Structure 1
Amino acid sequence: MAEHVVVIGAGLYGAAVAHSLARRGARVTVVDGGVPAGGTSGATFSWTNSCGKQPRSYHDLSVAGMAAHRDLAAGVPHSDWYHEGGNLEWAADEQGREELRQKVAGVLDYGYEARWLTRAEAVALEPDLDPAALPADGIASYPREGWIEPTRLIAHLLARAVTAGAELIRHDAVTGLELAAGAVRAVRLASGRQVAAYAVVNCAGPQAARIAELAGLVLPMRNTRGVLVYTSPAAVAVSRVVHAPHVHLRPDGAGLLLLHHPDTDGADEQTAAARVLAAGRTLYPGIRDAGVESVRVARRPIPGDGLPVLGRVADLPNFHFAVSHSGATLCLHAGDLVAAEALGEDRDAALSAFRFERLAAHAGGFRSVDPG
């Protein structure tokens, strides 16, 4: 009989892990207290990149994540969720320019694709940019970066998993874990249902600490608030991710643009929307008549030291994590590694740098723990 794995969470990580498990022949049950993509994965900038990520192990994991997106999209006829248009970035002051120079030098040293553009070269790529909003030079370009449409990717992955026999349980939160003899034996749901498990994978995003606590584990998290602003449709040519000093933006399909800036994450929705839209209009005058179609607020799941938590727990070896910031970049590759390990395959070489135990050893040393 195929091993039965319970995947907790139906966001990007949960869908990717479930897809990989089902492809390997496992029996899979995916459980979510809401609906697929209903949490953080449905409100993310979803930028695929390894731009300045440290240490080297994190950079390499992210590069492999980007390659996994490229490979999946190439192998699925009419796939429409992956967009490798590149990324432009520049800074507003000398300190920012020096930090950008160091970042570009670092990624070039790793063999990552990056180059410097002049204003004219940037406008040739993005013709609706206002040249007056750009520096004369010092514009970094990362041509292999891009973005995904997370809801469409999640739908594809879960559809493939369900077709292969996976069960998807919606609107039924995990309320407990049954532990015996050093392993998780079953998952209890709010409905009263109990699902027996050979292994459990915690893909609960900002809820990951709560799920870990049910297993007797302390997972330090420093989840952050993110405010994303979606414009109404605008006939403006934006074909890539743009990181300008006062706004980050990308296309979002059907003529919409997605705008964000970390400086507005702490503001109320109306203030955040006004600030990033004003900055976007300065950058792309063609959106001056566009309004705000919607604002989404999400909590980003960030482990205590900022790095992913992936794979099995040494003291509870059938309980596994797939939790990180940058889930949009990492989900396919890291999810496949975690799925393989959940079924007993050796993935220690790839996952050793991202084990839970590094955080458990320093659980009291992080600034904040958000168990929610």
Structure 2
Amino acid sequence: MNRRQFFPVLAVPLAGAFPEIVQAAKSKDRVIVIGSGVMGASIAYHLAARGAEVALIEKDAPASGTTRNSFAWINANNKTPYSYYALNYEGILGWRRLQLEIGPSLQIQWGGGIAWCGPDPQQIDTLHYTTARHQPWGYPIRNITRDDLERLVPGVRAGDFGAGWHSTLDGTLDPVAATLALVQAGIRAGVTLTKANVATIDFKGDRAIGVTTDKGPFFADHVVIAAGNDSTRLGAQAGIPVPLRTSKGILAHSKPMPPLVHQVLMPAGLDIKQNPDGRIVAGSNFGDTGALAPTPELGAQLLERVTGVLPQTRGIELDTMTLGYRVMPRDEYPIMGRGRQYRNVHVAAMHSGMTSAPAIGQLFAIEVLDGIETAQLQDFRPQRFYA
């Protein structure tokens, strides 16, 4: 085996393209990124933009795991403490930056987010707490009245209105389209995408030297684990604890409809958005759906509730149901950075990676290539899980 070869390129499941084998330039850092969900795609793109030689290794296809099944609300709501809020806020700004760098293929919609509830005192207190917590941090969120809601969402059925808030900075995106756009932008910057299943991370002394896959070995100077729920297995090989817990989410996707909704709408117990392709997506307030199954009956119930809130969606038809497994750390906070034993192995695991992916990509480019530990990630190091 010629160890100067960075990696053996195989299939690239994007637009039927098969990029040529890329030889590592001695002057460039060679980085393997495992996983091409939104997090891995962003990290790979930002590393390549810095001039690194990047191998993006994916066992299935880009955006085929957690990313594909994400509701993809871009926001910094209900994120505490401040360091966690700030990381998500930086992610929102990062998506706006990426729109300038990559363009409309990201398919981002900036309509804001609106939540409201009925007269339940606990729900009212929760909504008011969200506003009171985030306004002092500079987040553009405010309490709204029924009149405000009906003005912001013409035709809405507010029901027995108790309280609400409106966050103007929030957005949403099509998670698959955005991830594919990041992967394509990375390829234009020099990333090579390979379909392979990573079995092991390989080490020599106190450093990782690459990975072994079902398609052979890949060699690099740095390894980044952004493999979603498989990050626990891979992290353990490098002595990095990545404790995740099960958190399932079910979404109903309608057949395409005319443009009706441009905000993320969150009446009590329901989440509603409309993708650029016209499909309305509905879920149940981002909680773990437990033992529920993604059945057509459940989908019909969710879409019926959508019509109860938005009568203009009458006639909506179910297309598909999705069941996703969130990348949810045990303490619900991001797990970011290198471990103790092998300083050139980094892990990126968090919920919600959809919001923070642009910020994580930019920060990891600094951490991996410059060896700097950034302040934004200091509260989220894997070291907190070491015994």
Q: TM-score higher than 0.5 here? A: yes
Partner of 1:199: 222
Distance change >3 Å, CA 323–CA 125, structure 1 → 2: same
Q: Is the 8 A contact 1:32 1:169 kept in 2?
A: yes
Among 131, 136, 155, the alignment partner of 1:104 is 131
Aligned counterpart for 1:116 among listed residues 130, 137, 143: 143
| TM-score for both structures, normalised by structure 2 | 0.88
Aligned length: 357
Q: Counterpart amino acid of 1:151?
A: V
What whole-Å deviation, never above 9, does each CA across 1:113-138 have from its counterpart, x for those lacking one?
1112222221222113124x251x62
**C-alpha offsets along residues 240-278 of structure 1, whole Å, 9 cap, x if unaligned?**
001111210111122210000037453111243133222
Look up the SS of the partner of 1:141 in the other structure.
Answer: strand
Shift of 1:328: 0.8
Displacement after TM superposition at 1:284 (Å)? 1.0
Query: Residue 366 of structure 2 corresponds to which residue in structure 1?
Result: 340
Letter in 1 for 2:172: W
Letter matched to residue 201 of structure 1:
V
Residues 314 and 213 of structure 1: CA distance in aligned 2, closer, same or farther (over 3 Å): closer
Matched residues in 1 for 2:300 and 2:291: separation?
A: 14
Label 1:260 to 1:244 Cα distance change in 2 as closer, same or farther (>3 A): same
1:329 aligned to which of 339, 355, 366: 355
Question: Residue 368 of structure 1 corresponds to which residue in structure 2?
Answer: none
* 1:268 corresponds to: 293
- Which residue is equivalent to 1:149? 174
Deviates more, 1:211-220 or 1:36-45: 211-220
Is the aligned partner of 1:177 residue 2:214? no
Q: What's the offset of the Cα at 1:107?
A: 0.5
| Deviation for aligned residue 1:71 | 1.7
Partner of 2:50: 24
Instruction: Judge conservation of contact 1:119–1:134 (CA < 8 Å) in 2.
Output: no
User: What TM-score do the two structures reach when normalised by structure 1?
Assistant: 0.92
* SS of residue matched to 2:211: strand
Instruction: Spell out the pairing of 1:1-372 with structure 2 (5 A cutoff).
Output: 1=26, 2-92=28-118, 93-131=120-158, 133=159, 135=161, 138-170=163-195, 172-191=196-215, 193-235=216-258, 237-261=260-284, 262=287, 264=289, 266-270=291-295, 271-361=297-387
Q: Judging changes above 3 Å, is the alpha-carbon distance between structure 1 residues 76 and 189 closer, same or farther for their aligned structure 2 residues?
A: closer
Q: 1:75 to 1:7 in 2, by over 3 A?
A: closer
Quote the Cα distance in structure 2 between the aligned partners of 1:21 and 1:247: 38
Distance, in Å, in 2 between the alignment partners of 1:246 and 1:28 is: 42
Question: Could you list the per-position Cα deviations for residues 310-342 of structure 1 after superposition, in whole angstroms to 9, with x for gaps in the alignment?
Answer: 122232210101110111100011121112211
* Correspondence for 1:367: none
Judged with a 3 Å threshold, the aligned counterparts in structure 2 of structure 1 residues 17 and 174 are, in CA distance, closer, same or farther, namely same
Where does the alignment leave 5 or more consecutive residues of structure 2 unmatched?
1-25
1:128–1:237: 8 Å Cα contact kept in structure 2?
no
RMSD of the TM alignment (CA)? 1.6
Deviations 1:1-46 (CA, angstroms, capped at 9, x unpaired): 2111000000101100000110111110011110001111111011
Contact 2:127–2:164, Cα closer than 8 Å, also in 1: no
Gaps of 5+ in 1: 362-372
Find the residue that maps to 1:298 and give its secondary structure: strand
For 2:129 and 2:69, locate their aligned partners in 1 and report how far apart those are by CA, in whole Å.
30
Secondary structure of the 2:130 match is helix
Cα distance in 2, alignment partners of residues 147 and 89 from structure 1: 15
CA distance in 2, matches of 1:216, 1:80: 35
Q: Distance in 2 between matches of 1:82 and 1:234?
A: 18
Secondary structure of 1:295's match? Answer: strand
Per-residue deviation, 1:55: 1.1
Q: Tell whether the 8 Å contact from 1:9 to 1:32 is kept in structure 2 after alignment.
A: yes
- For the residue of structure 2 that corresponds to 1:343, the secondary structure is helix
2:153 is aligned with what amino acid? E
Percent of residue pairs bearing the same amino acid type: 27
The runs of 4+ residues in structure 1 deviating greater than 4 Å are none
